[in-house]
Amino acid sequence: MQRADASDIGRKMASPWTRTSSTERKVPHTRMEDESAIQRLYLFGRKLGQGSFGVVYEATHMETQKKWAIKKVNRKKAGSSGVKLLEREVSILKRVNHLHVIYLKEVFETPKRMYLVTELCEGGELKELLHRKKHFTEEETRHIISSLAEAIVYLHKQDIVHRDLKLENILVKNDHRGDDGEMPSIKVTDFGLSVQKSGVGSENMLQATCGTPIYMAPEVINAHDYSQQCDVWSVGVIMYMLLCGEPPFMSSSEDKLFEIIRRGELSFTGPVWDSISDGAKKVLSCLLKVDPAHRITASELLDNPWITGNTSLPVTPTNVLEMMKQFRDESEDSDWMELRDSLNGVSLNPSPEPTPHTETEVMSAGSDHEGNQEVRLQDTTDKSSSSKPSAPTRKRQRKKSFISTFNGVLKRNGSIVKSSSGTCVGTKVINPPSIRQVSPKECSKPRAANPKLSPCTPENKTPQMSMNTRVKKAT
């Protein structure tokens, strides 16, 4: 039988569950009665690795002479659970196509075995490379973590959660030696424990406790509802190991290990950490946050200055809680800046004589029967010099008219901030003694020129103005 005939016959006998859906790549999946047809297509070479129920071989395609890796799985040894994991991996690999995710070329299936033909990664597992090097440089680590983050961002956008990211499941494309300055090119593999969610929301949270203990996130250990953020934690563990050669959390027993992971206390002690930048340590602290709500996302990791190398731009978080905190801080800063601008030009020291320019005085207008202090703004414009104030002056006056105090409370545009000593905005306190005060005698004088302001005599205990209109400007 010719090779083409064997291939055509095999494809006609494909099993029903292997048919590709509209969301999958067109990956050939062939069912055969025996292995003879595969051996006519591929020449099997050296063994690359071995698992509990599968072996990986290097193989050369007869027609093109291109080298591939073929994962040969014994269905009987794998059992029903193992076959289910393999089918899940095949299903996900048919959906993905990314530079840093292993590429699935085609699948063959016989009654006894399954064959997965994937791209060949001659560098082997990243764990083996780390074992030879002891630890990577910060520049090499940055390159690897950047590539890994790109892959995770891509998977998460497809609603795919890997759930078993570790050094053993990251392959090195080329036979990396590091002598010529070439950076290792990585591929994420082994999607047996991966799952594709149907979307966002509490109904799509994951609950199964799975993975490799030293890489597992606290929420996975606790069997709580968790999301794709568990992959970000694993990226943090991988980054830590690349930099120093050891995992961030270790113990002699699994129970103690899980307890240490739940605490999430990072240590940067040891000679190797002396040469590591603060930026890298900060990234690790953000990746290994125990609370996944405060943990940065894979997209945020890609935008981090330690990854991009651009330290001139501030990091803008996409995490909702971090964005709310940043918005609150910026709002407080904005409030103080606006108050400062509002008080700009207010006389804080008594001047010996009036100037011909428009001024605004802060006057102590007495108190009502409840002891509520009232602040009034009085226009002391020299009428003889000008009939109308300038535009900048009017603008300042409008800003000042929004400031009032009520029983030790600063009120501005409807916002009230309690003050125990003077007027307080945020952490800024304006000391009352520095504000110009007008004596009660002067305040008790009748104000015929200001009919809108009620007299500030002790007998006038019930002012007619509401709290929202305590600041008035004389005309």
Nearest to 54 by CA among 26, 22, 90: 90
Report the first-to-last Cα separation within the chain, whole angstroms.
Answer: 107
474 vs 90, residue with greater confidence = 90
- Mean pLDDT check: name the lowest of 52-66, 268-282, 360-374: 360-374
Q: Which residue has the higher pLDDT, 141 or 178?
A: 141
420-441: pLDDT as tens digits: 444 444 444 444 444 444 454 5
- Return all residues near 29 (Cβ < 8 A) that are at least 6 apart: 14, 18, 19, 20, 90, 106, 107, 109
Highest averaged pLDDT of the listed ranges 97-111, 195-209, 216-230, 348-362 = 97-111
**pLDDT, position 175:** 76
**Mean pLDDT within 65-82:** 94
Residues labelled as active-site residues:
164
Mean pLDDT of the chain: 73
Share of the chain above pLDDT 70, in %: 57
- In this structure, the dihedral spanned by the alpha carbons of residues 443, 447, 451 and 453, taken in order and rounded to 10 degrees, is -10
Share of the chain above pLDDT 90, in %: 48
Amino acid identity at 248: P
Mutual angle of helices 138-157 and 278-287, in 10-degree steps: 30
Domains belonging to the chain, first-starting first, are: 3-119 (3.30.200.20), 124-318 (1.10.510.10), 343-469 (no CATH)
pLDDT tens for 184-206 read 999 999 998 998 876 444 444 55
Looking at residue 239, its pLDDT comes to 98
**3 pLDDT higher than 80:** no
Residue 314 has pLDDT above 70, yes or no: no
The whole-number average pLDDT for the span 247-257 is: 95
Q: What is the mean pLDDT of residues 435-456?
A: 48
